[in-house]
A = this chain, B = another copy of it.
Amino acid sequence: MFQQLGVVGCGLMGGSFALALKRAGLVKRVVGYSKSPSTTERAKRMGVIDVAAESALLAVSGSDIVLIAVPVAATETTFKAIRHLVEPGVLVMDVGSTKRDVVDAARRVLRERIGSFVPAHPIAGKEVSGIQHADAALYNGRQVILTPLAQTAPELVQKATDVWSSIGAQVLKMTPENHDAAFAAVSHLPHLLAFAYFSSVVNQPAGRDFLSLAGPGFRDFTRIAASSPETWRDILVANREEVLKQSQRFRQALDALEHVMREGNADALEGLIRGPSEGRTTWQMGAPRAPGGGKNSSS
Protein backbone atom coordinates (compact mmCIF):
# COMPACT_ATOMS: atom_id res chain seq x y z
CA MET A 1 0.00 0.00 0.00
CA PHE A 2 1.36 3.38 -1.01
CA GLN A 3 0.53 6.62 0.74
CA GLN A 4 0.59 8.81 -2.30
CA LEU A 5 0.97 8.35 -6.04
CA GLY A 6 2.33 11.31 -7.96
CA VAL A 7 1.41 11.26 -11.64
CA VAL A 8 3.33 13.56 -13.95
CA GLY A 9 1.40 13.60 -17.21
CA CYS A 10 -2.30 12.85 -16.77
CA GLY A 11 -2.95 11.23 -20.15
CA LEU A 12 -4.12 7.78 -21.15
CA MET A 13 -1.18 5.95 -19.57
CA GLY A 14 -0.84 7.99 -16.38
CA GLY A 15 -4.56 8.23 -15.83
CA SER A 16 -5.09 4.52 -16.37
CA PHE A 17 -2.32 3.70 -13.88
CA ALA A 18 -3.93 5.96 -11.27
CA LEU A 19 -7.35 4.37 -11.81
CA ALA A 20 -5.90 0.86 -11.65
CA LEU A 21 -4.08 1.53 -8.36
CA LYS A 22 -7.18 3.09 -6.89
CA ARG A 23 -9.37 0.19 -7.95
CA ALA A 24 -6.88 -2.29 -6.49
CA GLY A 25 -6.78 -0.34 -3.22
CA LEU A 26 -3.04 0.16 -3.55
CA VAL A 27 -2.88 3.88 -2.93
CA LYS A 28 -4.48 6.34 -0.52
CA ARG A 29 -4.15 9.50 -2.55
CA VAL A 30 -3.27 10.52 -6.08
CA VAL A 31 -1.71 13.87 -6.89
CA GLY A 32 -1.47 14.73 -10.57
CA TYR A 33 0.20 17.30 -12.77
CA SER A 34 -0.09 17.92 -16.48
CA LYS A 35 1.52 20.58 -18.60
CA SER A 36 -1.92 21.73 -19.66
CA PRO A 37 -3.93 22.95 -16.63
CA SER A 38 -7.19 21.98 -18.35
CA THR A 39 -5.99 18.37 -18.52
CA THR A 40 -5.10 18.33 -14.81
CA GLU A 41 -8.48 19.87 -14.06
CA ARG A 42 -10.26 17.28 -16.19
CA ALA A 43 -8.38 14.43 -14.47
CA LYS A 44 -9.55 15.80 -11.13
CA ARG A 45 -13.16 16.19 -12.30
CA MET A 46 -13.09 12.59 -13.57
CA GLY A 47 -11.83 11.38 -10.18
CA VAL A 48 -8.63 10.02 -11.73
CA ILE A 49 -6.56 12.19 -9.39
CA ASP A 50 -7.54 13.56 -5.98
CA VAL A 51 -5.36 16.66 -6.00
CA ALA A 52 -4.29 18.82 -8.93
CA ALA A 53 -0.68 19.94 -8.49
CA GLU A 54 0.65 23.12 -10.05
CA SER A 55 4.01 21.67 -10.98
CA ALA A 56 5.70 18.32 -11.51
CA LEU A 57 7.72 18.93 -8.35
CA LEU A 58 4.55 19.47 -6.31
CA ALA A 59 3.08 16.24 -7.68
CA VAL A 60 6.17 14.38 -6.47
CA SER A 61 6.28 16.11 -3.09
CA GLY A 62 5.11 13.67 -0.43
CA SER A 63 4.69 10.81 -2.92
CA ASP A 64 6.20 7.40 -2.25
CA ILE A 65 5.43 6.26 -5.79
CA VAL A 66 5.80 8.45 -8.88
CA LEU A 67 4.78 7.71 -12.45
CA ILE A 68 6.23 9.88 -15.20
CA ALA A 69 3.89 9.50 -18.14
CA VAL A 70 4.96 12.29 -20.47
CA PRO A 71 6.04 12.08 -24.12
CA VAL A 72 9.47 10.42 -24.25
CA ALA A 73 11.15 13.64 -25.39
CA ALA A 74 9.88 15.44 -22.28
CA THR A 75 11.35 12.92 -19.86
CA GLU A 76 14.64 14.74 -19.30
CA THR A 77 12.89 18.04 -18.53
CA THR A 78 10.65 16.20 -16.09
CA PHE A 79 13.65 14.60 -14.34
CA LYS A 80 15.16 18.07 -13.99
CA ALA A 81 11.96 19.43 -12.50
CA ILE A 82 11.63 16.72 -9.86
CA ARG A 83 15.20 15.63 -9.09
CA HIS A 84 15.43 17.39 -5.73
CA LEU A 85 12.59 15.26 -4.39
CA VAL A 86 13.80 11.94 -5.79
CA GLU A 87 14.74 10.50 -2.37
CA PRO A 88 15.92 7.00 -1.58
CA GLY A 89 12.88 4.77 -1.06
CA VAL A 90 10.67 6.71 -3.48
CA LEU A 91 9.78 4.50 -6.44
CA VAL A 92 10.00 6.52 -9.65
CA MET A 93 8.92 4.92 -12.92
CA ASP A 94 8.24 6.05 -16.45
CA VAL A 95 6.11 4.43 -19.17
CA GLY A 96 8.19 5.28 -22.22
CA SER A 97 8.22 3.07 -25.30
CA THR A 98 11.98 3.55 -25.63
CA LYS A 99 14.39 2.90 -22.81
CA ARG A 100 17.98 3.75 -23.78
CA ASP A 101 17.21 7.44 -24.21
CA VAL A 102 15.25 7.55 -20.97
CA VAL A 103 18.05 5.81 -19.08
CA ASP A 104 20.61 8.19 -20.58
CA ALA A 105 18.52 11.16 -19.47
CA ALA A 106 18.17 9.66 -15.99
CA ARG A 107 21.96 9.18 -15.72
CA ARG A 108 22.58 12.77 -16.80
CA VAL A 109 20.00 14.36 -14.53
CA LEU A 110 19.37 12.12 -11.53
CA ARG A 111 23.04 11.13 -11.08
CA GLU A 112 23.51 9.78 -7.53
CA ARG A 113 19.72 9.64 -7.14
CA ILE A 114 19.31 7.24 -10.06
CA GLY A 115 18.83 4.28 -7.70
CA SER A 116 15.18 5.30 -7.24
CA PHE A 117 14.38 5.09 -10.92
CA VAL A 118 12.95 1.87 -12.32
CA PRO A 119 12.50 2.33 -16.09
CA ALA A 120 9.24 0.72 -17.20
CA HIS A 121 7.43 0.12 -20.46
CA PRO A 122 3.90 -1.23 -20.24
CA ILE A 123 2.93 -2.89 -23.55
CA ALA A 124 -0.50 -1.34 -23.58
CA GLY A 125 -2.12 1.55 -25.24
CA LYS A 126 -4.80 2.49 -27.64
CA GLU A 127 -4.73 4.33 -30.92
CA VAL A 128 -6.52 7.09 -29.02
CA SER A 129 -4.84 9.15 -26.34
CA GLY A 130 -5.84 11.56 -23.62
CA ILE A 131 -7.25 11.39 -20.11
CA GLN A 132 -10.79 10.92 -21.46
CA HIS A 133 -9.80 7.39 -22.53
CA ALA A 134 -8.20 6.45 -19.19
CA ASP A 135 -9.21 2.94 -18.23
CA ALA A 136 -8.56 1.09 -14.96
CA ALA A 137 -8.24 -2.16 -16.96
CA LEU A 138 -5.70 -0.86 -19.49
CA TYR A 139 -2.79 -2.83 -18.03
CA ASN A 140 -4.72 -5.94 -17.08
CA GLY A 141 -3.35 -8.97 -18.91
CA ARG A 142 -0.62 -6.94 -20.58
CA GLN A 143 3.15 -7.23 -20.33
CA VAL A 144 5.29 -4.63 -18.57
CA ILE A 145 9.01 -4.51 -19.27
CA LEU A 146 11.32 -3.22 -16.54
CA THR A 147 14.89 -2.31 -17.49
CA PRO A 148 16.65 -1.77 -14.14
CA LEU A 149 20.28 -0.64 -14.07
CA ALA A 150 23.16 -1.89 -11.95
CA GLN A 151 22.53 1.07 -9.60
CA THR A 152 18.79 0.56 -9.27
CA ALA A 153 17.75 -0.27 -5.70
CA PRO A 154 16.72 -3.94 -5.73
CA GLU A 155 13.87 -3.35 -3.26
CA LEU A 156 12.39 -0.76 -5.62
CA VAL A 157 12.61 -3.20 -8.53
CA GLN A 158 10.66 -5.61 -6.32
CA LYS A 159 8.11 -2.94 -5.42
CA ALA A 160 7.71 -2.07 -9.10
CA THR A 161 7.21 -5.72 -9.96
CA ASP A 162 4.63 -6.07 -7.21
CA VAL A 163 2.61 -3.02 -8.14
CA TRP A 164 2.36 -3.92 -11.84
CA SER A 165 1.52 -7.52 -10.96
CA SER A 166 -1.18 -6.33 -8.58
CA ILE A 167 -2.98 -4.54 -11.39
CA GLY A 168 -2.90 -7.62 -13.60
CA ALA A 169 0.23 -7.10 -15.67
CA GLN A 170 2.93 -9.67 -16.37
CA VAL A 171 6.37 -8.26 -15.55
CA LEU A 172 9.51 -9.03 -17.57
CA LYS A 173 13.02 -7.67 -17.06
CA MET A 174 15.63 -6.97 -19.72
CA THR A 175 18.39 -4.52 -20.52
CA PRO A 176 17.51 -1.16 -22.08
CA GLU A 177 19.48 -2.19 -25.19
CA ASN A 178 17.61 -5.47 -25.67
CA HIS A 179 14.35 -3.70 -25.01
CA ASP A 180 14.95 -1.10 -27.70
CA ALA A 181 16.07 -3.68 -30.27
CA ALA A 182 13.02 -5.86 -29.61
CA PHE A 183 10.50 -3.01 -29.73
CA ALA A 184 12.04 -1.52 -32.83
CA ALA A 185 11.15 -4.86 -34.44
CA VAL A 186 7.68 -5.56 -33.04
CA SER A 187 6.28 -2.10 -32.44
CA HIS A 188 8.21 0.87 -33.81
CA LEU A 189 8.77 -0.44 -37.32
CA PRO A 190 5.10 -1.47 -37.78
CA HIS A 191 4.07 2.06 -36.82
CA LEU A 192 6.54 3.53 -39.30
CA LEU A 193 5.27 1.20 -42.03
CA ALA A 194 1.64 1.96 -41.24
CA PHE A 195 2.29 5.72 -41.43
CA ALA A 196 4.16 5.31 -44.73
CA TYR A 197 1.53 3.01 -46.20
CA PHE A 198 -1.45 5.16 -45.26
CA SER A 199 0.29 8.27 -46.60
CA SER A 200 1.12 6.57 -49.88
CA VAL A 201 -2.50 5.55 -50.45
CA VAL A 202 -4.14 8.82 -49.51
CA ASN A 203 -1.61 11.01 -51.32
CA GLN A 204 -2.36 9.71 -54.79
CA PRO A 205 -4.90 11.19 -57.21
CA ALA A 206 -7.55 8.50 -56.68
CA GLY A 207 -6.57 7.94 -53.04
CA ARG A 208 -9.83 9.01 -51.47
CA ASP A 209 -11.84 6.85 -53.86
CA PHE A 210 -9.62 3.92 -52.99
CA LEU A 211 -10.16 4.46 -49.26
CA SER A 212 -13.92 4.15 -49.69
CA LEU A 213 -13.38 0.59 -50.99
CA ALA A 214 -11.08 -0.59 -48.22
CA GLY A 215 -12.20 -3.51 -46.11
CA PRO A 216 -11.43 -5.20 -42.80
CA GLY A 217 -7.88 -6.17 -43.76
CA PHE A 218 -7.03 -2.53 -44.42
CA ARG A 219 -8.83 -1.46 -41.24
CA ASP A 220 -6.72 -3.68 -39.02
CA PHE A 221 -3.46 -3.16 -40.90
CA THR A 222 -3.76 0.63 -40.59
CA ARG A 223 -5.23 0.90 -37.09
CA ILE A 224 -1.87 1.98 -35.65
CA ALA A 225 -1.49 4.68 -38.31
CA ALA A 226 -4.00 6.67 -36.24
CA SER A 227 -1.52 6.87 -33.34
CA SER A 228 -0.42 10.17 -31.84
CA PRO A 229 2.04 12.15 -34.01
CA GLU A 230 3.78 13.61 -30.93
CA THR A 231 4.29 10.23 -29.25
CA TRP A 232 5.58 8.57 -32.39
CA ARG A 233 7.77 11.46 -33.45
CA ASP A 234 9.60 11.03 -30.14
CA ILE A 235 9.81 7.25 -30.28
CA LEU A 236 11.01 7.13 -33.88
CA VAL A 237 13.67 9.76 -33.27
CA ALA A 238 14.81 8.27 -29.96
CA ASN A 239 15.12 4.75 -31.32
CA ARG A 240 15.94 5.57 -34.93
CA GLU A 241 19.11 3.51 -35.06
CA GLU A 242 17.33 0.26 -34.22
CA VAL A 243 14.25 1.14 -36.24
CA LEU A 244 16.33 1.84 -39.35
CA LYS A 245 18.12 -1.49 -38.88
CA GLN A 246 14.77 -3.27 -38.74
CA SER A 247 13.52 -1.34 -41.73
CA GLN A 248 16.53 -2.54 -43.67
CA ARG A 249 15.60 -6.14 -42.86
CA PHE A 250 12.03 -5.45 -43.89
CA ARG A 251 13.13 -3.96 -47.22
CA GLN A 252 15.18 -7.06 -47.95
CA ALA A 253 12.15 -9.27 -47.34
CA LEU A 254 10.01 -7.01 -49.54
CA ASP A 255 12.68 -7.06 -52.27
CA ALA A 256 12.67 -10.86 -52.24
CA LEU A 257 8.89 -11.03 -52.59
CA GLU A 258 8.82 -8.44 -55.38
CA HIS A 259 11.62 -10.20 -57.21
CA VAL A 260 9.65 -13.44 -57.54
CA MET A 261 6.48 -11.50 -58.40
CA ARG A 262 8.32 -9.75 -61.25
CA GLU A 263 9.58 -13.10 -62.46
CA GLY A 264 6.04 -14.49 -62.29
CA ASN A 265 7.51 -17.33 -60.21
CA ALA A 266 4.32 -18.44 -58.47
CA ASP A 267 5.92 -21.41 -56.69
CA ALA A 268 8.71 -19.32 -55.18
CA LEU A 269 6.18 -16.66 -54.18
CA GLU A 270 3.99 -19.23 -52.47
CA GLY A 271 7.07 -20.50 -50.64
CA LEU A 272 7.90 -17.00 -49.38
CA ILE A 273 4.32 -16.42 -48.24
CA ARG A 274 3.95 -19.79 -46.52
CA GLY A 275 6.50 -18.93 -43.81
CA PRO A 276 4.78 -15.80 -42.50
CA SER A 277 1.32 -17.29 -43.06
CA GLU A 278 2.07 -20.32 -40.91
CA GLY A 279 4.10 -18.28 -38.43
CA ARG A 280 1.35 -15.75 -37.89
CA THR A 281 -1.33 -18.47 -37.68
CA THR A 282 0.46 -20.14 -34.77
CA TRP A 283 1.59 -16.91 -33.05
CA GLN A 284 -0.35 -15.91 -29.96
CA MET A 285 -0.07 -12.59 -28.19
CA GLY A 286 1.60 -12.86 -24.81
CA ALA A 287 2.60 -16.49 -25.26
CA PRO A 288 6.04 -17.11 -23.76
CA ARG A 289 8.81 -18.00 -26.17
CA ALA A 290 8.71 -21.70 -26.97
CA PRO A 291 11.88 -23.43 -25.70
CA GLY A 292 14.09 -24.38 -28.60
CA GLY A 293 12.75 -21.70 -30.90
CA GLY A 294 9.19 -22.72 -31.66
CA LYS A 295 7.30 -25.45 -33.41
CA ASN A 296 9.86 -26.16 -36.10
CA SER A 297 12.66 -26.95 -33.73
CA SER A 298 10.86 -28.70 -30.88
CA SER A 299 11.95 -32.29 -30.50
Interface of A is mostly: helix
Q: Which of B203, B215, B257 contacts A196 (CB 8 A)?
A: B257
Within 8 A of B (CB), among A171-228: 172, 181-183, 185-187, 189-204, 206-228
CA distance A194 to B143 in the complex (A): 24
Q: For the complex, count residues of A whose C-beta is within 8 A of B.
A: 98
Residues of B within 8 A of A289 (CB): 208-209, 211-212
Asked if A111 is at the interface of the complex by the 8 Å CB criterion, the answer is no
CA distance A243 to B269 in the complex (A): 14
Asked if A19 is at the interface of the complex by the 8 Å CB criterion, the answer is no
Report the nearest B residue to A268, measured CB to CB: B233
CA distance A181 to B252 in the complex (A): 25
Asked if A123 is at the interface of the complex by the 8 Å CB criterion, the answer is yes
B214 contacts A285, C-beta separation under 8 Å: yes
B202 contacts A186, C-beta separation under 8 Å: no
Give me 5 other A-B pairs in contact (C-beta within 8 A), A192-B257, A222-B283, A233-B273 excluded.
Answer: A196-B250, A220-B224, A221-B221, A222-B280, A233-B266
